[in-house]
Amino acid sequence: MSAKADTKPQEDAVAPKKAGGMGLGGMKLSGLLKPQATAVADSALKELALDLIDEDPNQPRLEDNPGFRPEMIAEIGGTIKARGVKQPISVRENPDAPGRYIINDGARRYRGSKWADKSSIWAIIDNDFVPDDQVVANIQREGHTAREIAKLIGQRMASGMKKGEIAKRWGKSPAYITQHAALLDLPPAIAQAFDAGRIADVTLVNELVTAHKSKPQEVADWLADESQEITRGSVKLLREFLEDGVKRDPNTIDALNGKTDAENEDGEGDSEPPKKKTEPKEEDPTKLKKAIVQVEINGDLCRLILNKRPSDGDVAWFKNEISGEEFEASLASAKLIALVEG
């Protein structure tokens, strides 16, 4: 059979077989298209030059959205540089600029491709677009939970991969991988709160783990209160409370002597009586807190500098009280004027 006869209709085609493509080989386009009768035709998949694509100025995500932070785009760009774009973006034809396109979905992949110095990107041209499509896509794109990510990291590590290798492959920082890997071996009290959905922030989990190492029972008791909100603010207060230390309830029973703290303080039981507070001593009115020796040299009022080493035994350093100048002079030339308190 000739090569021409082997050619299949466009609707049965998969991604173009271009060398160095974007990882679309073998992927059925039907999974990317809309199920409605007006579904986008397979021929709408194209490789477009990045300089022909514009971002939607009215897209619902604002420029200060966390997903648009430079470090996030750099992460995406690093992955694209290494592995290509795995999912085409969606664009529509620009009615005001023939030959140009506006992004429906995929602004971050578009920015990541530019960061990676790519010249083109695969895109599905979908002119059947309404602004709410972007909102729905962003709301429904939940991604993996932190626990799921931890499980995946555990699987990779069990296969022999190092954390640094996982970070590089996923386009994440080593700290990100380490934080999530810590979720694999949580203390029971923290694991229970995390699995119950009371803690969603990985940073908070790690802060609680740190606190638990030094005060396990206190952290467990704190988490046992299901009405306790676990937020950045509440965890910060907990850690400050544990670090500063607070006096125990006076009714707490001492495990050694069976007495309460209050009884011990009253002198009952085997504990030593509390020590009396020592009264502060009265200051000696004859002592100077800081002595200043004032002298007169060549008619100028000066002070003797006591903490500066002189060059010889019969000289000393002085400071002119008017000009502030410091100088070295003979002790014989200095006339004692007064001894005052500084």
Look at the domain 291-341 and name its fold: SH3 type barrels. (2.30.30)
Query: Is there a contact between 44 and 77 (Cβ–Cβ < 8 Å)?
Result: no
In the block, residue with structure tokens 């009405």: 227
> Are residues 196 and 186 in contact, defined by beta-carbon separation less than 8 angstroms?
no
Distances (CA, A) of 77 to 70, 152, 221, 318: 10, 22, 44, 67
Q: Is the pLDDT of residue 20 over 70?
A: no
- Per-residue pLDDT tens digits for 26-38: 444 444 444 443 4
The CATH code for residues 146-229 is: 1.10.10.730
Q: Is 147 helix (H, G, I), strand (E, B) or coil?
A: helix
- Cα 41 off chain centre by: 44
Q: Which CATH class is domain 3-140?
A: alpha beta
Round the CA-based radius of gyration of the chain to a whole number and report it: 38
Q: Is the pTM of this model over 0.75?
A: no
Residue 101 CB burial class (10 angstroms; 0-12, 13-18, ≥19): buried
pLDDT single digits (tens) 199-248? 878 888 888 988 898 889 989 999 988 888 888 888 888 888 888 764 44
CA 164 to chain centre: 18
Does this chain's domain 146-229 share its CATH topology with 291-341?
Answer: no
Q: Confirm if 126 and 93 have CB atoms less than 8 A apart.
A: no
Q: What mean pLDDT, rounded, does the chain reach?
A: 76
Rounded Cα distance between 40 and 178, Å, is 42
Q: Domain locations in the chain?
A: 3-140, 146-229, 291-341
Cα angle vertex 47, ends 33, 26, to 5°? 55
* The residue type at 325: E
pLDDT tens profile 109-157: 999 999 999 999 999 998 887 766 665 565 555 556 677 788 888 888 9
